[in-house]
Amino acid sequence: MAEPRWDPARLEARFEQVRAHTESLAEPLSPEDQTVQSMPDVSPTKWHRAHVTWFFETFLLSEVEPDFAPFQDQYWFLFNSYYEAVGPRYTRADRGFITRPGAHDVGLYRQNVDARVRELITQVDGGTLDKLGSTIELGFHHEQQHQELLLMDIKHVLSVNPLRPVYAGTPSPRSEPDTMGWVDVEGGLVEVGHEGAGFSFDNELPRHRAWLEPYRVADRLVTNGEWMEFMADGGYQRHELWLSDGWAKVKAEQWRSPFYWRDDDGTWSEHTLHGTHPVDPGLPVTHVSHYEADAYATWRGMRLPTEPEWEHAVEADGQAHATTDAPALHARSAGPATGHLRQVQGDCWQWTSSAYLPYPGFSAPHGAIGEYNGKFMSGQMVLRGGSALTPPGHARHTYRNFFPASARWPMTGVRLADGGAPA
């Protein structure tokens, strides 16, 4: 007899862990903090807390519970993010106008759904659980994605406040810059994409072949100190370094530094989740758009890696491994050179030069869940790695994160590449 794929006890433990982690991230925030949407891309904290709950309610409970009814009719409408197949939704840009349910009421919603999911996991027979397991697991990874979004978003909310509030924690001690090294990669006919029994999102599939000429990638991320050299050399004033759309943004939005840097009477400080502090030259630069990353690479006479180059370099390197620590909330210094790739995960998402497009043979699942990834494969760029805001254990080397080229509020960074031209 085949062993059941999903073990109820482990599923339940995982469920408790993921759900509790979300609440712990919201814990330092007042009801007011949890309510505000400081720009259209941002969602309120309490909306994130409710939406991930709605996800379990919609894709799990509504499929299974015999007399299913939403916890609240209007929540069905308020907390749908973008699933057209589930029905109409409250306008995304207006999420910050909704004061009720308040932060406390969202907690009640969470408790209700938690109890029902718990009961489901522990009570249903193994055959049913085998059918539902992958949806439950998707709910975990979905909630983890929103854990990072929650932190990204609250960072922005607090940044527009002239009181310069602190979310939590303290900055690292001043770091020591080191030299950027390089890792050579042979290339050839390589494979990219997820493989094996573990979880992946649909956009990481199928694993497929790609041709790469020999190339090299930097062994660490670009630092704040290196970015200051770019700025000092007129990086934000020299059109010839920029993509046309990027240059238009530089002028229209008067970019002259990374997103969260402020010029306090001649000294650069940076808004972080720990408050506003002087920029540390040894830390990786972060909160730069794809346009800025590309301009920086051009200035250095280099380029960004493509998506298959990034993934294959990490696989070929063989040393990089998933972060298991609690997220630091800030990127860390690379530390001494190791001969291997450093800062692969846990510091900054790394812009690639690849547009976010379907892999050869990709097809989205049927139904609403098929809207999860596939419909966004247009007009965005891929980032790889993971950041200091990514929950431990969430990211993979095949993980494809994506944002518009102009996005600056995600925790992004820059890894350089070189070579790769036909002989």
Q: Could you say which residues in the range 243-282 bind a copy of itself, by CB under 8 A?
A: 243-247
**Which residue, 100 or 173, has its beta carbon nearer to a copy of itself?**
100
Please select the residue that binds a copy of itself; options are 291, 351, 399, 403, rule is CB under 8 A: 291
| 92 touches a copy of itself by CB under 8 A | no
| 401 touches a copy of itself by CB under 8 A | no
Q: Could you say which residues in the range 100-139 bind a copy of itself, by CB under 8 A?
A: 100-103
Interface mask (CB under 8 A) for a copy of itself, residues 193-212, using x and -?
-------------xxxxxx-
**Which residue, 215 or 261, has its beta carbon nearer to a copy of itself?**
215
Q: In what order do the strands lie in the sheet with 417-419?
A: 182-185, 215-218, 417-419
**Which residue, 33 or 148, has its beta carbon nearer to a copy of itself?**
33
Please select the residue that binds a copy of itself; options are 50, 98, 331, 334, rule is CB under 8 A: 98
| 405 touches a copy of itself by CB under 8 A | yes
Distance in angstroms (rounded) separating the CA atoms of residues 235 and 69: 56
**Which residue, 120 or 210, has its beta carbon nearer to a copy of itself?**
210
**Which residue, 10 or 251, has its beta carbon nearer to a copy of itself?**
251
- Displacement of CA 347 from its chain's centroid (Å): 11
**Which residue, 189 or 197, has its beta carbon nearer to a copy of itself?**
189
Interface mask (CB under 8 A) for a copy of itself, residues 320-359, using x and -?
---------------------------------xxx-xx-
Give the number of residues in contact with a copy of itself, rule: CB under 8 A: 71
Task: Find the part of the chain contacting a copy of itself (CB under 8 A) among 92-100, 114-122, 137-145, 277-285.
Answer: 92-100
| Shortest distance in whole angstroms from residue 96 CB to a copy of itself | 7
Q: What is the 3-state secondary structure (H, E, C) of the chain?
A: CCCCCCCHHHHHHHHHHHHHHHHHHHCCCCCCHHHCCCCCCCCCHHHHHHHHHHHHHHHHHHHHCCCCCCCCHHHHHHCCCCCHHHCCCCCHHHHHHCCCCCHHHHHHHHHHHHHHHHHHHHHCCHHHHHHHHHHHHHHHHHHHHHHHHHHHHHHHHHHCCCCCCCCCCCCCCCCCCCCCCEEEECCEEEEECCCCCCCCCHHHCCCEEEEECCEEEECCCCEHHHHHHHHHCCCCCCHHHCCHHHHHHHHHCCCCCCCCEEEECCEEEEEECCEEEECCCCCECCCCCHHHHHHHHHHCCCECCCHHHHHHHHHHHCCCCCCCCCCCCCCCCCCCCCCCCCCCCCECEEEEEEECCCCCCCCCCCCHHHHCCHHHCCCCEEEECCECCCCCCCCCCCCCEEECCCCCCCCEECCCEEECCCC
Q: Could you say which residues in the range 33-62 bind a copy of itself, by CB under 8 A?
A: 33-36, 38, 46
| 234 touches a copy of itself by CB under 8 A | no
Q: Could you say which residues in the range 298-317 bind a copy of itself, by CB under 8 A?
A: 306
| 237 touches a copy of itself by CB under 8 A | no
| Shortest distance in whole angstroms from residue 260 CB to a copy of itself | 15
Please select the residue that binds a copy of itself; options are 5, 10, 174, 375, rule is CB under 8 A: 375
- Displacement of CA 56 from its chain's centroid (Å): 20
| 240 touches a copy of itself by CB under 8 A | yes
How many C-beta atoms lie closer than 10 Å to residue 168's C-beta? Answer: 13
Q: Could you say which residues in the range 71-90 bind a copy of itself, by CB under 8 A?
A: 72, 74, 77-78, 82, 84-85, 90
| Shortest distance in whole angstroms from residue 338 CB to a copy of itself | 28
Please select the residue that binds a copy of itself; options are 5, 10, 239, 256, rule is CB under 8 A: 239
